[in-house]
Amino acid sequence: MSQQIPKIQKVVAVLWPSFLTAALATILFFTTFDPVLLGELAGYGEISRLGGYTIGFFLFWLLTAGTCALTCYFQRPCDKPGPLA
């Protein structure tokens, strides 16, 4: 009998670890780089530090959520291969 994992548990298994990882990445990245200076160098004009931190956090969260989702996807068992023709 196959036990199904609830969909909300699957979503939380991706979003929660990626949230924590994004928070750590944001702290480490912006300890080294100033978001105001990065915005000027990239040609985006004037950006507030809080805006830079927010954009950076959500980009890190998107990146880490994608990698967590891929990890969950690749953990699924494969179909049994059929006979070779």
- Is residue 33 situated within a structural domain? yes
**Is 55 inside any structural domain?**
yes
Domain range for 61: 7-74
* Total number of domains constituting the chain: 1
pTM: 0.79
CA distances from 47 to 26, 32, 35, 36, 54 (A): 17, 17, 8, 6, 11
Average predicted confidence (pLDDT) for the chain: 88
Which tens digit of pLDDT belongs to each residue from 9-20? 888 989 999 999
